[in-house]
Amino acid sequence: MEHLLNKNVLDIEISGIRKFFNMVNDIEDLISFTIGQPDFPTPEHVKKAGISAITNDFTSYTHNAGYLELRKAASQFLSIKYGLNYRPENEVIATVGASEAIDITLRTILSEGDEVLLPGPIYPGYEPLIRICGGTPVHIDTRDSDFKLTAEKIKPFLNKRTKCIILPYPSNPTGVSLNQEELKDIATLLKGENIFIIADEIYSELVYTDKHYSIANELRDQTIVINGLSKSHSMTGWRVGFLFAPEYLCKHILKVHQYNVSCISSISQKAAYEALTAGINDAEAMKNEYFERREYVSARLMEMGLQFVKPDGAFYFFVKVPNHLQTTSFDFALNLANKGKVAVVPGSAFSTYGEGYFRLSYACSKEVLQIGLDRIENFLNAKN
């Protein structure tokens, strides 16, 4: 009876990241630079807040959008960190990770035939959700602009079917960010247009150069800001995300969220409150360590003669597969895993514009990075 299923679901596939991870995970003595999982533990005081929630029976349903004190803390966090102001009563929703926030936003704003513009290469989690909604993802090639989706690149793709633009910065897989001037240019282009902007800012606390700036500072009424605690506080398994949007949008997105999950885990909400208040600067120590790793990996890759745009956020390098190898990114990654005992993600997992590259996550210890990079170097030398 499989043929009776929703065609939009039948036509999508499992993420290329997970598919490749599952394919090579059983290789013996493999070092993995694949999954974007912080290697730090959740801060101790945050874990204790979760335990306290259980002990004190904070285990019932909360308001669909999250209990009010949490929404106040999330609103205050954004105000302090990025100068954004959202009313906790009706412009903030706590979601099951940033992933659910993206899903319910797209399901609220998209209709059949709408187009969504997004940079290529890009994290593979957006396109399937767009297609399930009956929308059409339109990738814009950013390979010649240091992986930045600029106003100049966006303009030729705008038409009457354009409903939304996704700005996922800092970027997964490239680690690249957009600065304030670049975002202002995009805002000037889109201001007053019937186009929504989804600003996926899940890596906003992991920016190493300029301070993170959100396009919502420029186009608040058209922007949905998505954030969360998975990367900033190493809370991937707690599944806490946040959606910030003007009230006219939020009230409709909340309906989809309500029928989807009712509310997020009450225990995770208490832990999240602790993270956003007492732990407001918890990401600093992690960011400093990531910065040191970034510098180390950058130096090693340069010594190997590999080409890349140095990331200024997140914890990824997007590296060009050496031309002389004359191979696809998938075959390169598979050979590296089998023969070099290092797993990276083939660039083809991040749209067709990722072909010819591979993503390397440095969310692991310096010792593991050294061993893995030594292996990559040995693998490449053996190929020369």
Mind listing the pLDDT tens digit for each residue in 208-263? 988 999 999 999 999 999 999 999 999 999 999 999 999 999 999 999 999 999 99
**What CATH number does residue 232 fall under?**
3.40.640.10
80 and 184 share one domain = yes
Domain end position, chosen among 216, 248, 276: 276
Q: How confident is the model at residue 4 (pLDDT cuts 50, 70, 90)?
A: confident
Asked whether residue 266 falls in the same domain as residue 353, the answer is no
In tens, the pLDDT along 185-219 reads 999 999 999 999 999 999 999 999 889 999 999 99
Structurally, the chain folds into a number of domains equal to 2
Q: Domain check: are 16 and 64 in the same one? A: no
What is the identity of the amino acid at 71?
Answer: R
pLDDT at 75 over 90: yes
Same domain, yes or no: 61 and 127 = yes
Separation between Cα atoms, residue 322 and residue 306, nearest integer Å: 7
Residue 304, classified by CB atoms within 10 Å of its CB into exposed (0-12), middle (13-18) or buried (19+), is: middle
**Confidence band, pLDDT 50/70/90 cuts, at residue 329:** very high
pLDDT at 35: 83
Shared domain for 148 and 250, answered yes or no, is yes
Q: How far is 279 from 290, CA to CA, in rounded Å?
A: 18
Strand partners, 93: 243
Which residues constitute the domain of residue 191? 44-276
For residues 240 and 379, state if they share a domain: no
| Residues 121 and 17 placed together within one structural domain of the fold | no
DSSP tag of 32 = E
Residues 36 and 9 in one domain: yes
* Token pair of 225 as six digits: 């800001």
Asked if residue 72 and residue 127 are part of one domain, the reply reads: yes
**Can you give the CATH number for the domain in which 302 is found?**
3.90.1150.10
User: Do residue 108 and residue 154 come from a single domain?
Assistant: yes
Among 276, 291, 311, identify where a domain stops. 276
Cα(first)–Cα(last) distance of the chain, in Å?
52
